[in-house]
Amino acid sequence: MTEEDPIPRLAVLGAGVMGVSITTLALGQGVPVTLIETDPAKRADAPARIARELRTAQLMGVHPGTPRAELTTGSSPADCAGAEVVIEAITEDAGLKSAVLTEVSAVTGQDTALVTNTSSIPVDELAARLPRPESLLGVHFMNPSYLIRTVEVIRGTKSSPEAVSSVRRLLTALGRRGVFVGDGPGFVTSRVLHRMINDAARVVQEGRASAEDVDTLMQDCLGHRTGPLRTADLIGIDNLVDSLRVLHERTGDEGCRPCELLLEKVRAGEHGRKSGQGFYTYTGVVS
């Protein structure tokens, strides 16, 4: 960034897995963040979680030598005032997302770009509920954001050139490559990946292979970096089920109806890495 192209002022809505991951990426790249979380316990715990993620990133050789930017926390969308880009990273629920984005629209300027990190809900569906639909784009960051350098960018039919320009500038500051794709349920990554994970879970549910065997075959034979079921644990099985429901409702594809094994894990609180138990058991990494 230069004096002519300064670091954008960024706000992130939600201190869940993805909100913390995106904030970690930004701080590590020298971009200050205002992190908004309405839940007092989550808000209080967020700085420690982010500090752990920053240490992990540093140990993995990510952004060495870059001074960490300042983190500010807030309790209300009103704390987004003054931000040039606001990234929404809350629950995969269209009503909740559009409601919080509408609140943000009321306290930010006409030039503020609004970004949804939805994994499945069409951008135009959310934009239609906003007072400034032209301000909204989708940017699908993957977890962990500080390791994955490519992001999926979804331009809605009403997304303005100014909003697109602001998002491009933010991605440059974050050191991320944006791949622009068309709008629609699940875009590209979730439309392909989430159905594959659902099928992988069905194979385990049917007793034909263990989770370890499924992942080993997908890694060693087909080059999937982590395997679909380890990926499910990283996404969060509860988040995955929410996304699959969005895809099933909006496409009618029965392959996207969450399988019973995934539903059982959600009911049992086995949400993956963040809960310490999913398809695999995790120790010392719960966030």
The owner of tokens 């909204």 is 136
Q: pLDDT at position 3, please?
A: 46
CB 272 within 8 A of CB 233: yes
Q: How confident is the model at residue 10 (pLDDT cuts 50, 70, 90)?
A: very high
Collapse the DSSP code of 138 into the 3-class scheme (helix H, G, I; strand E, B; otherwise coil) and give the result: strand
Q: pLDDT at position 4, please?
A: 56
End position of a domain, from candidates 136, 165, 181: 181
| Mean pLDDT, range 216-245, rounded to an integer | 96
Share of the chain above pLDDT 70, in %: 95
Q: What is the CA radius of gyration of the chain?
A: 18
CB 228 within 8 A of CB 242: no
Q: What is the CATH number of the domain that holds 29?
A: 3.40.50.720
Residue 28 and residue 168 in one domain: yes
Lowest mean pLDDT among 58-62, 83-87, 91-95, 159-163: 58-62
Beta pairing partners, 3:
none
Residue 62 and residue 177 in one domain: yes
Q: pLDDT at position 61, please?
A: 84
In 3-state terms, the chain is what percent helix, strand and coil (to 5)?
50, 15, 40
Residue 88 and residue 222 in one domain: no
Share of the chain above pLDDT 90, in %: 90
Q: How confident is the model at residue 8 (pLDDT cuts 50, 70, 90)?
A: confident
Q: What is the CATH number of the domain that holds 231?
A: 1.10.1040.10
End position of a domain, from candidates 159, 181, 203: 181
Position 114: which residue type? L
Range of the domain at 44: 10-181
| Mean pLDDT, range 49-76, rounded to an integer | 87
CB 61 within 8 A of CB 88: no
Residue 3 within any structural domain of the chain: no
- pLDDT (tens digit, 9 = 90+) per residue, 103-142? 999 999 999 999 999 999 999 999 999 999 999 999 999 9
Q: Judge whether residue 26 has pLDDT over 70.
A: yes
End position of a domain, from candidates 143, 163, 181: 181
Q: How confident is the model at residue 1 (pLDDT cuts 50, 70, 90)?
A: very low
Q: pLDDT at position 6, please?
A: 75
Residue 153 within any structural domain of the chain: yes
| Mean pLDDT, range 131-155, rounded to an integer | 96
Say which of 63, 140, 194, 248 is annotated catalytic.
140
Catalytic residue list contains 194: no
Residue 283 within any structural domain of the chain: no
Q: How many domains does the chain have?
A: 2
Beta-carbon contacts of residue 200 (< 8 Å; ≥ 6 apart): 214, 218, 228, 229, 232
Residue 134 within any structural domain of the chain: yes
Strand 136-140, strand 177-181: pairing: unpaired
Residue 4 within any structural domain of the chain: no
Q: What's the pTM?
A: 0.90
Beta-carbon contacts of residue 85 (< 8 Å; ≥ 6 apart): 8, 9, 10, 11, 112, 113, 114, 115, 166, 167, 170
From the list 122, 257, 121, 274, the residue with the least C-alpha distance to 197 is 257
Q: Judge whether residue 284 has pLDDT over 80.
A: no
